[in-house]
Structure formats: structure tokens, C-alpha cells
Amino acid sequence: MESLTGRVAIVTGGNSGIGRAIAKAYAKGGAKLVLAARRAEQLKEVEGEIKAAGGNAMGVVTDVTKEADVVALFDKTMKAHGRVDVLINNAGVASREKTDELPLASWQRVIDVNLTGCFLCAREAFKIMKAQKQGRIINIGSVSAKVPRGNSVPYTASKFGLEGLTRAFALDAREHGVLVSILHPGNTVSSLGRPTQIGANPEGRMEAEDLAQVAVLMATLPHEVNMLEALVLPRTMPFLGRG
């Protein structure tokens, strides 16, 4: 296993939920964190928590749907640290509107954040990592890329698309020493939907910190090894079997 110590990691959507948990886990492992999200106050809060625990972090206000913001995020990271070793493409939104009542604006918003935003960040990371001849891009997908929920057309489409994006990037990047993979969470306590308590949810939900352990594993595998895809589910989630 490789160490996270001194490695520079960008986490989009790093101000809450899964992104926040991964950022803290990476910081605990010694990585230098760059947190990207739209909400400045939440970024400062997470940055402060990491620093208070002895970690290294800086927040950069970023809207991943805006190309200029994404370019600026990577420029600021390079000015601060001189390299990018890991990108966690985690920023995401959901829509739970009925399919036949779904406004085009809702469809576009989800696709812009979940798919186009991931493309922009991966593209900028790849430029840097290609020159370094090493790096890892880990996209946060969803079990919805395997089995969708009802009334989730744009979210499901974006996560299926993200799996294709991952495979295409992985193919183009591997000759340059850059590894690209996707982590599919099952039901997880996150900002996209937080149950009051796990015991009250018949499906059960993982804590974001549990998922973060897998993100650490994926980033610390030997350089010649890539976990292309990981599907992580809570034990009681009704994913397997027939209804």
C-alpha cells in the first residue's frame, strides 16, 4: 500500500456528506486537501475542522458547472502545492420529480453538475497528472448506475453516464500512468437525503465515514494497480435477489 502523506488531493463537494468524510479521512492519512464547493461558509467550517485536527486543507469556492471556476480551482491548487495527486469527483445533486412532469431545467441542472462537472474536473486533473506521469481520479457514482429508484431519471442517467466517462477516461489515461476509477455508494447518510436514524430505515444506510475507508483504499493501492469499480452497499440494502 502507498501512503497518502504529502499527496495533494482535490475533493469536490468537500463541504458536506460523502465528500466531507473522504476529505477528513485523507487529511488524517497525511494528504494535503483542497476542498471545492459553492458554499464558502461550509468550506471554511470543514477547512477549520481539518486544521484543528492537525491536517492541511484549503477551501476554494467552486461551481463545477462553470469551466472558468474549474480551471481556477486547479490553477490555485498548482500555485499552492505544485501538483495534483488525487481528484475525488464527488460534487452532485439529485432530482426526485415525476418523470412526466420533469422540467428541462431540472434535467439540465443534474446533468450539468453530476456529469459535465465531473468531465471538466477530470479533464483539468488529467492535464496535470499526464505531465506528472501519475495520479488518480476517483469518480463518486451511485448504485443508481446499476438499479435506479423511481422518479430519478436525470440522476440515474447522470450516474450511468459517469460510469461511461470513467471507463473512457481510464482507457485514455492509462498509458500516461494516470488511474481512473469509480466508487458506487449504496444508500448512504449524506446531504442528498439524510434519514432520521438508520434503525428507522428498512433499507439501512451506511455512514459516509464507512465509504471514506474505501476511497482511502482506492487511492493507496500500488501505482500499478487500479480498482476500476467498487460497489459498496449496507448489509441490509435490498439490492440483491428478486422482488
Q: Enumerate the active-site residues.
A: 155
Q: How does residue 235 score in pLDDT terms, banded at 50, 70 and 90? A: confident
Distances (CA, A) of 216 to 114, 147, 190: 22, 25, 18
Q: How many CA atoms lie within 13 A of 173 on its CB side?
A: 30
Per this entry, what is the length of the chain?
243
Q: Helix or strand or coil: residue 193?
A: strand
Q: Give long-range contacts, CB 8 A cutoff, 24+ apart: 112-115.
A: 112/65, 113/64, 113/65, 113/158, 114/155, 114/158, 114/159, 114/161, 114/162, 115/158, 115/161, 115/162, 115/165
pLDDT value of residue 239: 81
Query: pLDDT digits over 128-172, tens only?
Result: 999 999 999 999 999 999 999 899 999 999 999 999 999 999 999
Residue 134 is which amino acid? Q
* Helix, strand, coil percentages, rounded to 5, for the chain: 45, 20, 35
Q: Among 74, 86, 78, which residue's Cα sits nearest to residue 26?
A: 86
Report the distance separating Cα 34 and Cα 169, nearest Å: 22
pLDDT value of residue 197: 40
pTM of the model: 0.93
Report the distance separating Cα 27 and Cα 110, nearest Å: 29
Answer positive or negative: Cα dihedral of 37, 40, 41, 47: positive
Residue ranges and CATH numbers for the domains of the chain are 8-189+199-232 (3.40.50.720)
pLDDT value of residue 222: 97
Segment 2-12 shows an average pLDDT of 97
Looking at every residue in the chain, the average pLDDT score rounds to 93
pLDDT at 45 over 70: yes
pLDDT value of residue 174: 96
Task: Take residue 52 and report the three cell numbers written for it.
Answer: 484543528
